[in-house]
């Protein structure tokens, strides 16, 4: 079974915790150009709770595979790369903002 249309951003933080962030524009279920929104109430709260519990179950299932020293190494390398990163935006701005009679 494919996941056409399902776009989740899945992150691992430096504490090896999984974060699942659905795309803001994602919609699940029937697609229609004419809809009526169900306002917040007992039913919507029950659905939201059930969806939240399902997501937590998924996180509990897959999060342990990231509990490895390799993750620590990756974050260490990423932090070093960020510290060494050149601010290209500032460099470009300074390069073109030099006083020049041509402009």
DSSP string across the chain: ---TT--EEEEE-TTS-EEEEE-TT---S---SS--PPPSSHHHHHHHHHHHHHHHHHHHHHGGGG-SHHHHHHHHHHHHHHHH---HHHHHHHHHTS--TT-
Backbone phi and psi for residue 10, each to the nearest 5 degrees, phi listed first? -120, 125
What is the per-residue pLDDT for 36?
86
Q: Can you give the residue ranges of every domain in the chain?
A: 8-26+37-96
Identify the segments of the chain with pLDDT beneath 50.
Answer: 1-3
pTM of the model: 0.65
What is the per-residue pLDDT for 33?
72
Provide, rounded to the nearest whole percent, the portion of the chain with pLDDT above 70: 81
């Amino acid at each position: 079974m494919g996941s056409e249309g399902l776009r989740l951003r899945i992150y691992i933080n430096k504490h090896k915790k999984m974060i699942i962030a659905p795309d803001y524009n994602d919609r699940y279920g029937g697609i229609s150009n004419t809809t009526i929104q169900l306002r917040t109430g007992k039913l919507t709260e029950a659905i939201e709770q059930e969806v939240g519990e399902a997501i937590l179950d998924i996180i509990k299932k897959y999060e342990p595979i990231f509990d490895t020293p390799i993750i620590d190494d990756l974050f260490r390398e990423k932090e070093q790369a960020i510290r060494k990163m050149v601010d290209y935006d500032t460099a470009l701005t300074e390069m073109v903002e030099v006083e020049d009679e041509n402009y």
